[in-house]
């Protein structure tokens, strides 16, 4: 079996979770801003932080795919 | 109509730029002038290429292109800081305080942004009677400034496109077989002579494929891992400073809500190790993935559309710098926190 197939699977399946997570985070942030438009600044800040953390999991999948492809 | 005129002007500039590019292409490559419209970018490998080798006797110091770029970025940062400092020191004390102007204004805005960020993330923790945000500001602000500057520097044209021929490793010289053939022995002596005469090997014989001279420093896992290790070690040191050695171990074991007290110790140890991996892998993945994305996009699409991706990557690189420093601050705040029982004891006295 071609190792490139495993790398493709790793990246593909591994980005389902983070995509859902980021979507949920942004949805909740938008809801919160809708309820309290004055707190938009802090909410945005925390949202960006949460998005960065969720994206890290997709990056783990990416690094795994790299490890499969290049070593 | 003003809108129509601006549109026509923009269109005119684009047409002139395309014509100029075609003209330069015709001058440089007369038989295939459209070469300048295609960028043959080098898609980077995860392991960076060595471009300089320093031979000191039997010791060899290889310098990768990422390390070289990080030295270059640091040099530019130092020069910028010295220039800013000189231009601020020119004004008198009163002028500086009452009427901040120009460079001083920008520097003050940047520092205020950073300290507000850190004090917001650090909360109300105190360490050695000082607010935590101010105490860790030198380290975390340095991390932020270096990361964001190194990241954005890698979007400047010239990174990953200027290629050099990398020097051969010393093993290639030793790998020549020591057999009794006259010519091989002569070759071996000749290459050994090369290896021991020159101390600094730039741009070697070119037997390996060409390597870019400059590459985003954070696209090297070693550089991001170095910063992540420093951050996590500082977390442990500050936690020990606040709670004492035994107190910090107790803090790791019992800092949990309710019923989970006492069994959190191995979980905390593992989570500290995973902080190193997550900080370094996050930054590396974003930067290396960004490099690959930009190389592919420049290779596939027309000359103008990739500029959009440069902008997107600029935003994401800012987010990554922000995230690294805020997460470091949050980890420090969590390690230093939980001193509530000490504060209650002081308040009770």
Q: Residue A56: list chain B partners with CB under 8 A.
A: 278, 281-282, 285
Tally C-beta pairs within 8 A across A and B. Answer: 41
Stronger pLDDT, B94 or B5, i.e. the higher one: B5
Q: Residue A48: list chain B partners with CB under 8 A.
A: 319, 322-323
Interface of A to B at Cβ within 8 Å reads: 45, 48-49, 51-53, 55-56, 59-60, 62-63, 66, 70
User: For residues B320 and A49, what is the distance between their CA atoms, to the nearest angstrom?
Assistant: 9
Return residues 105-134 of B near A (CB < 8 Å): 120
Q: Residue A46: list chain B partners with CB under 8 A.
A: none
Mutate to test the interface with B, among A56, A65, A69, A71 (most CBs of B within 10 A): A56
Are A59 and B46 within 8 A, CB to CB? no
Question: By CA distance, what is A48's nearest residue in B?
Answer: B319
Positive or negative: CA dihedral A32, A38, A42, A45: positive
What b/e sequence results for B219-233 when a residue is b if at least 16 CB atoms lie within 10 Å of its CB, and e otherwise?
bbbebbbebbeebbe
Q: Residue B322: list chain A partners with CB under 8 A.
A: 48-49, 52
ipTM: 0.84
**What pLDDT does B295 receive?**
86
**What pLDDT does B184 receive?**
41
Backbone angles phi, psi at B64, to 5 degrees: -80, 165
The distance of A37 to chain B (nearest Cα, Å) reads 20
Cβ neighbours of residue B203 under 8 Å, at least 6 residues apart? B51, B164, B165, B166, B167
B297-308 pLDDT, tens digit each: 887 776 678 888
User: For residues B40 and B43, what is the distance between their CA atoms, to the nearest angstrom?
Assistant: 9
pLDDT of residue A10 exceeding 60, the answer is: yes
Stronger pLDDT, B348 or B329, i.e. the higher one: B329
What are the angstrom distances between the C-alpha of B95 and each of B85, B87, B100, B112, B274? 15, 12, 7, 19, 49
**What pLDDT does A11 receive?**
92
Stronger pLDDT, B253 or B196, i.e. the higher one: B253
Stronger pLDDT, B167 or B231, i.e. the higher one: B231
Q: Residue A53: list chain B partners with CB under 8 A.
A: 323, 327
Are B285 and A62 within 8 A, CB to CB? yes
User: For residues B325 and A51, what is the distance between their CA atoms, to the nearest angstrom?
Assistant: 15
**What pLDDT does B185 receive?**
40
pTM score, whole prediction? 0.79
What are the angstrom distances between the C-alpha of B35 and each of B10, B26, B209? 24, 9, 21
Are B323 and A66 within 8 A, CB to CB? no
What b/e sequence results for B154-178 when a residue is b if at least 16 CB atoms lie within 10 Å of its CB, and e otherwise?
bbeeebbeebbbbbbbbeebeeeee
pLDDT bin (cut points 50, 70, 90) of residue B204 is low
Average pLDDT over residues A21-49: 91
What are the angstrom distances between the C-alpha of B151 and each of B68, B69, B283, B335? 14, 11, 10, 29
Are A62 and B326 within 8 A, CB to CB? no
Stronger pLDDT, B187 or A48, i.e. the higher one: A48
B57-105 pLDDT, tens digit each: 788 888 899 999 999 999 999 999 999 888 888 877 777 777 777 888 8
pLDDT of residue B178 exceeding 60, the answer is: no
pLDDT bin (cut points 50, 70, 90) of residue B260 is low
pLDDT of residue B188 exceeding 50, the answer is: no
Q: How many Cα neighbours within 13 Å face the side chain of A28?
A: 11
Stronger pLDDT, B166 or B50, i.e. the higher one: B50
**What pLDDT does B189 receive?**
39
Q: What is the DSSP letter of B258?
A: G
**Domain residue ranges in chain B:** 45-167+203-348
pLDDT of residue B347 exceeding 50, the answer is: no
Average pLDDT over residues B230-257: 84
The distance of A49 to chain B (nearest Cα, Å) reads 6
Name the residue facing B286 among A51, A59, A70 (closest C-beta): A59
Domains of chain A in start order, with CATH, are 3-70 (1.20.20.10)
Give the alpha-carbon dihedral of B91, B94, B97, B99, to 10 degrees.
-70
Q: State the average pLDDT for chain B.
A: 80
Q: Does B169 touch chain A (CB under 8 A)?
A: no
Backbone angles phi, psi at B211, to 5 degrees: -120, 145
Cβ neighbours of residue A36 under 8 Å, at least 6 residues apart? A43
Backbone angles phi, psi at B53, to 5 degrees: -125, 130
């Amino acid at each position: 079996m071609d190792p490139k197939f495993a790398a493709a699977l790793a990246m593909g399946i591994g980005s389902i979770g983070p995509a859902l997570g980021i979507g949920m985070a942004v949805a909740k942030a938008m809801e919160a801003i809708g309820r309290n438009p004055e707190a938009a600044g802090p909410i945005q800040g925390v949202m960006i932080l949460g998005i960065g953390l969720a994206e890290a999991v997709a990056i783990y999948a990416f690094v795994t795919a790299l490890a499969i492809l290049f070593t | 109509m003003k809108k129509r005129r601006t549109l026509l002007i923009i269109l005119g500039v684009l047409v002139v730029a395309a014509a100029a590019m075609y003209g330069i292409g015709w001058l440089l490559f007369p038989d295939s002038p459209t070469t300048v419209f295609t960028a043959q970018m080098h898609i980077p490998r995860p392991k960076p290429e060595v471009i300089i080798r320093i031979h000191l006797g039997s010791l060899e110091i290889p310098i990768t292109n990422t390390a070289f770029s990080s030295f270059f970025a640091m040099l530019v940062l130092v020069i910028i800081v010295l220039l800013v400092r000189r231009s601020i020191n020119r004004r008198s004390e009163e002028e500086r305080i009452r009427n901040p102007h120009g460079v001083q204004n920008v520097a003050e805005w940047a520092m205020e942004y950073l300290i507000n960020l850190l004090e917001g993330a650090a909360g109300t923790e105190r360490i050695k009677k000082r607010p935590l945000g101010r105490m860790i500001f030198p380290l975390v602000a340095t991390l932020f400034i270096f990361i964001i500057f190194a990241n954005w520097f890698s979007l400047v044209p010239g990174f990953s496109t200027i290629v050099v021929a990398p020097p051969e490793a010393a093993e290639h010289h030793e790998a020549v077989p020591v057999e009794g053939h006259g010519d091989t022995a002569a070759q071996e002596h000749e290459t050994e002579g090369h290896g021991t005469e020159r101390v600094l090997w730039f741009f070697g014989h070119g037997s390996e494929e060409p390597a870019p001279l400059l590459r985003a420093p954070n696209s090297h896992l070693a550089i991001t891992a170095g910063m992540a290790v420093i951050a996590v070690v500082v977390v442990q040191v500050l936690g020990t400073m606040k709670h004492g050695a035994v107190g910090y171990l107790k803090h790791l074991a019992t800092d949990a809500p309710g019923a989970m007290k006492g069994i959190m110790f191995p979980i905390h140890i593992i989570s500290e190790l995973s902080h190193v991996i997550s900080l370094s892998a996050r930054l590396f993945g974003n930067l290396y993935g960004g490099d690959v994305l930009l190389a592919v996009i420049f290779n596939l699409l027309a000359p103008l559309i990739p500029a959009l991706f440069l902008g997107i990557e600029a935003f994401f690189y800012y987010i990554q710098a922000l995230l690294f420093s805020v997460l470091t601050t949050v980890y420090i705040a969590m390690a230093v926190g939980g001193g509530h029982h000490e504060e209650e004891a002081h308040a009770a006295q």
